[in-house]
Amino acid sequence: MKKLLELSDSKTEHLPGLLPFVPGMSVILTQNIAIELGFINGINGIFRQLVYQSDSISTDVLSQAFPSNTQYVHRPLNALSEIARSKVECNLEELQPKLVPIPLMEQTFRVDITDILPKGKKSISNEKAILSIKRRALPFVPAYCITTHKSQGQTLHKVVID
């Protein structure tokens, strides 16, 4: 399982396995969500918070099976993000200007099992074993630093080149 989470984004349809979110962090959208509203691949934004379903699964039933210090993590419905170049003309109900919900995206990708086996381990068969994996994740990557390719077409107010 750990190997699947650590696969390169280029092998997982650009949905990372693990992605820590911190309110206020710069992010880049990695998929087209609503082209007409400006929510397009490569647009910069600021992650603000995760939104969860109000009637999430009760943990009372599960608490008897797990230690008292167990933390339960529920899948979010969406991420509220500030998209400065958004083309949304009015504020969405109960949200601040330019704050928009970005939904989870679902992608299916295929992985050769030899890519995730420990080094030195071989498959019993000589045939290729392909796993089909479905992943739901937020279509973001951190944007604290970006490549020159990703910066093409963007207006950047401050740039540090190393």
Q: What is the pLDDT of residues 79-134, one digit of tens each?
A: 999 988 877 776 667 777 788 889 998 888 888 777 667 666 665 666 777 888 88
Within-domain flag for 96: yes
Q: Specify the amino acid at residue 21.
A: F
Domain range for 46: 18-106+137-151
How far apart, in whole angstroms, are the C-alpha atoms of residue 9 and residue 21? 17
Q: Is 71 within a domain?
A: yes
Q: Is residue 60 part of a domain?
A: yes
pTM of the model: 0.70
The residues, ordered by sequence, that sit 6+ positions from 45 with a Cβ below 8 Å of its Cβ are 26, 27, 28, 29, 81, 82, 83, 84, 102, 140
Strand pairing report for 44-51 and 26-29: antiparallel
Does residue 3 form part of some domain? no
Q: Is position 142 within any domain? A: yes
Q: How confident is the model at residue 65 (pLDDT cuts 50, 70, 90)?
A: low
d(CA 80, CA 65): 33
DSSP of 26-47: EEEE-S-SBGGGTB-TT-EEEE
Q: What total of structural domains would you count in the chain?
A: 1
